[in-house]
Amino acid sequence: MSLKLNLMITLFTTFIFLSGCSKDIEEYNKPAAFWYTKIVESISNGNLEKADSYYSSLQGEHIGSPLLPEATMILAITHMQYEEYLLGEHFLNEYIKRYATPNEKEFAEFLKIKAKYLALPNPRRDQALIQEAIDEGEKFKRHYPNSMYYEIIDTMITRLYLAQAVLNETIADLYERVDKPKSAAYYRALKPQPWIKWSEVDRAKTPWYRAWFEGDGTESWYGFLVPDTRSVVSRNSVIDDNTTQNKEIN
């Protein structure tokens, strides 16, 4: 009796296991419309990870499907709406490289720059991304001088230049606090845009809840903890003539 019961339990467990796996096993070698529908359904449910997985199936099984370009753009825009800007940029790069016509390429490149711009809510945290966004924005203006997005891109670039200037001023303040006047002067001189009246530019106000931990851009509550050593300065630091030779610190 015990042997019979164990056999029944084993068969039942095996049946449940195979039934559970069959749902995943069945989801392959499907029409392109099936995967496209799954992508849209997953986005509607807010499950972007699943939507990305279905996109991989669509791309893998139907590389020439006319639904693929649209699915790529849908996922790019959706990831941007969910503030997943790096993923959005990934799908935009895929769209530009594989599917975009000249007119569609212009729109996709505009969205790429917008994604970089929106990924910078706190500009002082990513100096490289600011410069990258500026470079791509300037490139867009050169390639599409008559674009309907030109003024939007120009506005983004202007704000990025201002953010970059404030970041340089913050770095200069840091050098002053560690007694590096030449390095501070170097960063304060990095204002190559003559069309901006720098004397009229005010530093952005830091919210109180961030200023507690990050400072307000001019000083921090933990400033007394910053040691006066080379480890806290960048490779652009200018060494004083009276101490060592004039060269950049690596």
CATH number of 29-119: 1.25.40
Which stretch of 23-32, 205-214, 228-237 has the lowest confidence by average pLDDT? Answer: 228-237
Query: Any residues with CB less than 8 A from the CB of 146 and at least 6 apart, and which?
Result: none
Q: 48: how many CB neighbours lie within 10 A of its CB?
A: 18
SS3 of residue 238 by DSSP: strand
CATH 1.25.40 placement within the chain: 29-119
- In angstroms and rounded to an integer, the radius of gyration of the C-alpha atoms of the chain is 27
Q: Give the residue among 65, 43, 69, 45 at the shortest CA–CA distance from 54.
A: 43
- Backbone phi, psi, residue 5, to 5°: -65, -45
What confidence tens digit (pLDDT) does each residue in 70-118 have?
999 999 999 999 999 989 999 999 999 999 988 899 999 999 999 999 9
Q: Are 180 and 228 in contact (CB under 8 A)?
A: no
What's the pLDDT band for 195 if we cut at 50, 70, 90? Answer: confident
Query: What is the pTM assigned to this prediction?
Result: 0.68
Distance CA 203, CA 217 (A): 8
